[in-house]
Amino acid sequence: MQRSRVHRVGGLLLGLSLIVAACGDDDDDDTGDTASVETEAPDATSADTGGPDTTAGTETTEGGADTTTAATGEPGEPGALEGMKGTTPMPPELSQEFRDRLATTPSGANLTDYNYAAESYDAVMLIALAAEAAGTDGSALAAEIVNVSREGEACSTFAECVELVRAGTDINYEGVSGPNDLNGNGEPLSGTYGVLQFGPDNRIDESLTRNVSAQAPESAIVDITPVGVEREGDGVLKIGSLLPQTGDLAFLGPPEFAGVELAIAEINEAGGVLGNPVEYAAGDSGDDKSDTANRTVDRLINQENVDAIIGAAATGVTLNVIDTITQAGVIQFSPANTGVALTEKEDNGLYFRNAPPDSLQGPVIADLVLEDGAETAYILARDDAYGNGLADVIETVLNDSGVEVLNKVIYDPAASSFDSEVNDIKAADPDAIVLIGFNESSKILRTMVEQGIGPRNKLVYGSDGNMGNALGEDFDAGR
């Protein structure tokens, strides 16, 4: 029988108070202020459902860690990452039909990861529908983004939704990424996550992917933030992108760009917005170690005259540019920001995200640790807004649930070596290791494997910043 997970995340949407229900079987008594979280049963025909099979192959623990075989960490070694689990926001079923549509875009021809493609697509759709509802591409359209995401008549395509909007009907856009019901502060009230697991080829084994969801309590709901900057539109909705072509999250770029491109193409095929085709200007965000994002934002606002910017992917990058964007009266809508630091950030009512905040993801990761029976854990997280915020949430939930957090170490992602951090983990000898990082995770995992504390020997968990086939590719290549 599949376990049914129950969480109520309070919170970090309104502070740092988390209530997580106890783990148990379906017939356990639920306690506390909780909302149910569904775990989908396996589906052999879907790449995004199914429970992990932890018994086939080598001798494993419940979480998939090989207790007998050590890996050497040599580049290309098969199976060194096998058993590593982690989460990423993911629709319950990312259909093959949607993947095929993504493949028709300039950025989607050779996708190997689909992280945040659906969220990017839906972000564009919400902006376009809000512009129709507001009758403008100016900053006033921001006041309609939350409204078109919830509570009205359900619709799922631009053609269907825009017809309802033009008829004066309130709509509830149900997107490819899920309900997209936004809180008044512009972030999701719920999240659906894929629990991913690496297979023996050091790639995500899609047959083991399953979905779980988390819901914020009603007490987290806030009023819509008023738009604080007035910027007039010109009748032509123009969207810019601030997404990673380079930098630590470059593996997220192709699916995100593809999602934006597909949405704009389909909107224009349906007649565009405000009687005109939507225009598009692409841009690189880089990462928070470079000035790329600032240069891109300057170009998008001052030369391209965009009305909205999709991005950034990294919370740290968004924190570097959000004031510039929103003070100019331009909408910023991220498909991938999860950092809790953005929940209460002043934004003139112009910042939105449809990736669920880490106040929801953190308890899901912690629940994986609990589910696999760990009694002690070690958290290793990159030093930025994303890493610090998610690490704090996971630490709080684990401690409150009876798992002893032996240490929480924040590392410099630009370090040339992670020997010291890994040696400390080995000395602590935890049951579980939670690694919150970006592309530097490959180097950390290589050192862990070399020290005999990789996924074959320990329960190892990742998050949306590193859980993807790009991690396996980097590991195999020795990067």
Please indicate, yes or no, if residue 410 is contained in any of the structural domains: no
Tokens in use for 266?
């389909």
Q: What is the mean pLDDT of residues 27-49?
A: 34
340 or 239, higher pLDDT: 239
Residue 54 pLDDT = 30
Distance of CA 264 to the CA centre of its chain: 22
Contact call for residues 198 and 472 (beta carbons, < 8 A)? yes
Residue with tokens 């050590």: 70
Contact call for residues 240 and 309 (beta carbons, < 8 A)? yes
Cβ count within 10 A of residue 100? 10
Q: What is the CATH classification number for the domain harbouring 288?
A: 3.40.50
Please indicate, yes or no, if residue 282 is contained in any of the structural domains: yes
Give tens-digit pLDDT for 40-88. Answer: 433 333 333 333 333 333 333 333 333 333 444 455 567 899 999 999 9
Q: What is the mean pLDDT of residues 262-290?
A: 97
> For residue 377, what is the enclosing H or E element?
strand 376-382
Q: Cβ neighbours of residue 429 under 8 Å, at least 6 residues apart?
A: none
Please indicate, yes or no, if residue 394 is contained in any of the structural domains: no
Residue 289 pLDDT = 86
Residue 143 pLDDT = 97
Residue 36 pLDDT = 31
Q: Is the pLDDT of residue 136 over 90?
A: yes
Please indicate, yes or no, if residue 119 is contained in any of the structural domains: yes
Contact call for residues 398 and 390 (beta carbons, < 8 A)? no
Q: What is the mean pLDDT of residues 144-172?
A: 97
Measured CA to CA, the distance from residue 363 to residue 296 in angstroms comes to 35
Please indicate, yes or no, if residue 112 is contained in any of the structural domains: yes
Cβ burial of 41 (10 Å; 0-12, 13-18, 19+) is exposed
Name the pLDDT band for 109 (thresholds 50, 70, 90). very high
Give tens-digit pLDDT for 327-338. Answer: 999 999 999 999
Give tens-digit pLDDT for 284-318. Answer: 999 988 999 999 999 999 999 999 999 999 999 99
Residue 90 pLDDT = 86
Name the pLDDT band for 18 (thresholds 50, 70, 90). very low
Lowest mean pLDDT among 18-27, 185-194, 302-311, 436-445: 18-27
Q: Is 141 helix (H, G, I), strand (E, B) or coil?
A: helix
87-91, 94-98, 308-312: which has the highest mean pLDDT? 308-312
CA atoms within 13 A on the CB side of 279: 13
Residue 217 pLDDT = 85
Output DSSP code: residue 178. Answer: B
Tokens in use for 121?
């697509």
> For residue 442, what is the enclosing H or E element?
helix 441-450
Q: What is the mean pLDDT of residues 134-152?
A: 97
Q: Is 274 left (phi over 0), alpha (psi -120 to 50) or beta?
A: left
Residue 158 pLDDT = 98
Q: What is the mean pLDDT of residues 424-439?
A: 97
Measured CA to CA, the distance from residue 475 to residue 479 in angstroms comes to 6
Instruction: Count structural domains, the chain.
Output: 1
Domain of residue 132, residue span? 96-187+221-358
Please indicate, yes or no, if residue 479 is contained in any of the structural domains: no
> For residue 96, what is the enclosing H or E element?
helix 96-102
What are the DSSP calls for 258-327, one per residue? Answer: HHHHHHHHHHHHTT-BTTBPPEEE--B---TTSSHHHHHHHHHHHTS--SEEEE-SSHHHHHHHHHHHHH
Note the pTM of the prediction, 2 decimals: 0.77
Residue with tokens 């990673």: 244
Tokens in use for 267?
């909107």
Measured CA to CA, the distance from residue 265 to residue 458 in angstroms comes to 46
> For residue 193, what is the enclosing H or E element?
strand 190-197
Please indicate, yes or no, if residue 125 is contained in any of the structural domains: yes
Name the pLDDT band for 92 (thresholds 50, 70, 90). confident
Residue 316 pLDDT = 93
Q: Is the pLDDT of residue 368 over 60?
A: yes
The pairing of strands 376-382 and 432-436 is parallel
Mean pLDDT of the chain: 86
Please indicate, yes or no, if residue 29 is contained in any of the structural domains: no
Percent pLDDT > 90 in the chain is 77
Q: Is the pLDDT of residue 24 over 70?
A: no
